[in-house]
Amino acid sequence: MPIYEYSCEKCDKKFETLIRGNEQAVCPECGSESVKRLLSACGFVSKGSGGETVSASAGSSCSGCAASSCASCGV
């Protein structure tokens, strides 16, 4: 069951919530169902060629890379 990140369109609060099946997210601040799902930044760890560990987070470059996107280096 995924945890999604939302922004309330009524009070502008950002929050995360666990969504099961066809449940509708509800703002914990004001109770509104008028929420927008956000694109969440997620981190990952991958074994690169040669067995070295490569870590990256969406929205930032890898620690050993000067590129602004992992798409440019293929990680």
Give the DSSP letter of residue 30: T
Q: Which domain holds residue 44?
A: 1-58
The number of domains in the chain is 1
In a domain, 64, yes or no: no
In a domain, 66, yes or no: no
In a domain, 63, yes or no: no
User: pLDDT tens across 2-38, in order?
Assistant: 788 999 999 999 999 998 888 999 999 999 999 999 9
Instruction: Specify the 3-state DSSP secondary structure of 72.
Output: helix
Per-chain mean pLDDT for the chain: 76
Q: Label the pairing between strands 14-18 and 53-57.
A: unpaired
In a domain, 67, yes or no: no
Q: Label the pairing between strands 3-8 and 14-18.
A: antiparallel
**For the domain that residue 10 is a member of, what is the CATH number?**
2.20.28
Q: 71 phi and psi, to 5 degrees? A: -60, -30
Output Rg (C-alpha) for the chain, integer angstroms.
Answer: 17
In a domain, 15, yes or no: yes
In a domain, 68, yes or no: no
